[in-house]
Structure 1
Amino acid sequence: MSTKQSKANGNGARRDAVPTRFTYALKCYTAEIRTDGWWIARTTTSFGSEKPEWSGPFQSIETACLAIARRLATEIADRHTRSIEAHKLTPAQPLYGLKPTTRLRARKDASAL
């Protein structure tokens, strides 16, 4: 393998190049109204053996939607944290995009091991 090939991935872009964007496909949620309020769960396939894990009851559709939004925000933050760590982005770079109080994992000190 040549040096040129080893530094490029399948589409010709350099592996160590900083990406121009990050895109995240998110999970779908199902909302259900019952006699005691609104309930939410991640959507599962009808042919799968998974059972939905319902959360609730929520007093209103707005609070159910806020619960979904919090879960999606957590999912995006976790995935984006992995992306910025993999690409070694710093807070000064425009695609860093996380607040200082978000979900970055603490680095393990090699001397503590």
Structure 2
Amino acid sequence: MSRDTDQRISDVLHAIDRCTRYVGALDDGDADLVEMAEDAIERNLQIIGEAANHLPADTTDEHPEIAWPQIRGFRNILVHQYFGVDVDVVRDVVETYLPPLAGALRIHAVTE
């Protein structure tokens, strides 16, 4: 089943919300909870990258401030080079790069 642009934007926004909620668990003292949070965040970052990969050019072109190639590339790293993923990099992505992405896509969703 194919997903339209609005559905893909919704997928990204939901995955960003999950990442944002889960990132706090990375500081928990429970090693199992930390591991689950890492797995959940990485999975949602994969969803973001995959959905972004299928957004039409007119959508991504409206937001040149977003590093679209890096979003797609990070998804590939998470999937294909999973053994080299650094949790500090993942945290930085969630805390630094996902808020502007969410803002851009929320604006896009409102104007559509």
The answer to which structure, 1 or 2, has the higher relative contact order (CA under 8 A, 6+ apart) is 2
Q: Shorter-chain TM-score: which interval?
A: 0.3 to 0.5
**More strand as a share of residues:** 1
